[in-house]
Amino acid sequence: MLTLIDNGHGRQTRGKRSPDGSVEEWRVNRQLARRLLTLLQQAGEPAALLVPEDDDIPISTRRRRIMQHAARLGAPDVRLISIHCNAAADGSHWSTARGWSVYLHTDAKPADIRLATQLAQAVRQACFSIRRPGPAHPYWTAPLALLRDLPLAACLTENLFMDNRDDCLMLRQPHILDRLAEALANGLIGEAQPRPAL
């Protein structure tokens, strides 16, 4: 199965950053996406960056690329993980919200739910805090345009909060990004392993 890794937002999206400017979402997304790509490929798992460019690529173009892969390989043999960093406010001040979360489209399919659940389990086993809407649901739902009506398993991850001081500090540390990428890879491969606490 081919894993498409979408690194959301490009360098033109200048507002997506921490209040102190030390973390820019487009940079972190790409660092994390490239780490994940390497780990999957090293494990023998087919994977590709949906957006190898540093520029902002419109959702319509990204969806077209997804559908091209699905048409070429067959939708059951392709899955999508979109990489983002979260923010609770407008970026002008620090917030208390923190942790990792995964989103599905409001019309999520069983394959989407399985994918999100596997990722959440792996991230939790890597000892990252998980934000969830309720105890029984490890994923959120929203009418996300990128995920709408896709014929393949797809989810969007929010990898910590840029506007939380503790999460921001973690996002600035390469070994934390490595650990996040490892957790995502384990969730995708299905080999999540418990790790010591952060």
Confidence band of 13 (pLDDT split at 50, 70, 90):
confident
Inside any domain, residue 92: yes
For the segment 182-190, the average pLDDT, to the nearest whole number, is: 95
Inside any domain, residue 196: no
Could you give the count of Cα atoms lying within 13 Å of 49 in the half-sphere of its Cβ? Answer: 18
Domain at 150, CATH number = 3.40.630.40
Number of domains in the chain: 1
Inside any domain, residue 144: yes
Confidence band of 198 (pLDDT split at 50, 70, 90):
low
The pTM of the full predicted model, rounded to 2 decimals, is: 0.93
| 88-112 burial code (b ≥16 CB/10 A, e <16) | eeebeebbeebbbbbbbbeebeebb
Q: Provide the domain limits for residue 11.
A: 2-189
| pLDDT tens figures, 49-96 | 999 999 999 999 999 999 999 999 999 999 999 999 999 988 889 999
List, in sequence order, every residue forming a beta bridge with 142; answer none if it has no partner: 105
| pLDDT tens figures, 31-43 | 999 999 999 999 9
Scanning 14-109, the segments in alpha helix (DSSP H) are 25-42, 59-73
| pLDDT tens figures, 129-166 | 999 998 888 999 999 999 999 999 999 999 999 999 99
The two beta strands, 140-142 and 47-49, are: unpaired
Q: Is the pLDDT of residue 5 over 50?
A: yes
The pLDDT score that the predictor gives to residue 192 is 41
